[in-house]
Amino acid sequence: MSVLAIRSLSKTFGGVHAVNEVSFEIGKGEFLALIGPNGAGKSTCFNMINGQLKPNSGEILFEGKNIAGLEPREIWRLGVGRTFQVAATFGSMTVVENVQMALISHAQQTYRLWRPAASLHRERAIELLAQVGMQDAADRPSRELAYGDVKRIELAIALVNDPRLLLMDEPTAGMAPRERNDLIALVKRLVLERGISVLFTEHSMDVVFSYADRIIVLARGRLIADGTAATIREDAKVKEVYFGTGKTFQVHAP
């Protein structure tokens, strides 16, 4: 059984078919890239899966259960993780406190318990930081971190609820090419080690074609291709929608 099965998913805004009868699946431990030109419907698709948007029609089966239309928190608790931007909100907290906060929230403890429980979950938080190579920075204020390191913390936080599916909408936005590769290589390692399935969007074709196990392509709300890097690179429809965008499908292995 697939971890996630999307069936005929649709969402319209006014008269715009942002996502139009889209169907695809993700297997266990699969690293799946969702690509497409601007306005293709990638974010809309993501936001329906994580609960921020309600679909007009279609099913989103997570481990066989239809989660379409559930609240984001319910979906998260079922085991669908996502990366959140921590940079702005929690800059004054230390790195480890940021992760502890997420653990406390996961355990449904309230914010007012935070102070007396400052050491709560520290051990588990350090463990999660170790998984993303950030344990040495545990007691540094988050605001002092380089951007690439903040992204690693966001990843550690996304692992707090032991997700079986992780959604990453443009995880490397704003990063330099080298940093992008490092982050995606780290995610890929976690996918392999923990057997998590990952759905990610990414504008760097180099990253997508180097790391994704499979690639699905949206254009104007419709799914136009689904296959391995080799298949997608040669797909006539894909070439057509990307023609003239300046994007190439060359693989520059990092």
Q: Does 43 bind ligand ATP (CB under 6 A)?
A: yes
**CA triplet 203, 148, 109: central angle to 5 degrees?**
105
Q: Does 247 bind ligand ATP (CB under 6 A)?
A: no
Q: In this chain, which stretch among 13-21, 64-72, 81-89, 160-168 interacts with ligand ATP, using CB under 6 A?
A: 13-21
51 binds ligand ATP (CB under 6 A): no
48 scored as a contact of ligand ATP (CB under 6 A): no
Binding flag, residue 174, ligand ATP (CB under 6 A): no
Footprint of ligand ATP on 21-40 (CB under 6 A): 36, 38-40
Min separation Cβ 16 and ligand ATP, Å? 5
Q: Please give the structure tokens belonging to residue 143.
A: 């605001």
| Residue 10 or 161 having the CB closest to ligand ATP | 10
CA 86 to chain centre: 14
Nearest CB to ligand ATP, comparing residues 8 and 146: 8
Minimum distance, C-beta of residue 40 to ligand ATP, in the bound complex (Å): 4
CB of 232 to ligand ATP, least distance (A): 16
Kindly state whether residue 129 participates in binding ligand ATP, applying the rule CB under 6 A. Answer: no
Residue count, binding to ligand ATP (CB under 6 A): 11
245 binds ligand ATP per the rule CB under 6 A: no
- The correct pick among 6, 20, 32, 41 for binding ligand ATP (CB under 6 A) is 41
Q: Which residues bind to ligand ATP, rule: CB under 6 A?
A: 13, 16, 18, 36, 38-44
